[in-house]
Amino acid sequence: MIDKCESPIERQMLDALVSLFRWHDHCIAAEVIPQYKIGKYRADIMVRAVYSYRQPVHVVVECDGREFHRTPEQKSRDYQRTLDIEAAGFAVLRFTGSEIYAGAKECAQVVFDEITRLSYCREAPGNGLL
């Protein structure tokens, strides 16, 4: 699975997510999928999670390295991509390479916390069957 990652920050994030969800497997069933196809996009990582018998939650994790996400044009493209993915029914969390390098475990915890929040908010993006 890690061989599908396209960058070191994606590998770090994937590893942190898999480790975190393995630790929480008593209360949440999660599938962590790198390079997940959503329409015309390929999400860096998609997490499908079911928390304590609730509806599945789908969260896309984008790992934004400086090389491809720093110019105004690139940021505009990322913004539109986020809107399109959310319109497809996914919640989207974006992390910079600096955030991931400084604390991949903390970034993974943000994802876990968002999944927990979405599991209890029926109308939130990312909550429901796809």
Q: What is the pLDDT of residues 16-33, one digit of tens each?
A: 999 998 876 656 788 999
Q: Which of the four pLDDT bands, split at 50, 70 and 90, describes residue 51?
A: confident
- Domains, the chain, in order of start with CATH, read 2-116 (3.40.960.10)
CA distance 63 to 130: 23
E-only strand ranges, the chain: 28-38, 41-51, 57-64, 91-96
Angle of helix 97-119 relative to helix 8-23, nearest 10 degrees?
A: 40
| Residues 43, 6 contacting (CB under 8 angstroms) | no
Q: Classify residue 39 as left (phi > 0), alpha (psi -120 to 50) or beta.
A: left
Q: What is the pLDDT of residues 66-112, one digit of tens each?
A: 666 567 788 788 899 999 999 999 999 999 999 999 999 999 999 99
pLDDT at 2: 56
CA distance 74 to 60: 18
pLDDT at 68: 60
pLDDT at 98: 92
CA distance 70 to 88: 25
Q: What is the pLDDT of residues 107-130, one digit of tens each?
A: 999 999 999 888 877 555 555 544
Q: Which of the four pLDDT bands, split at 50, 70 and 90, describes residue 35?
A: very high
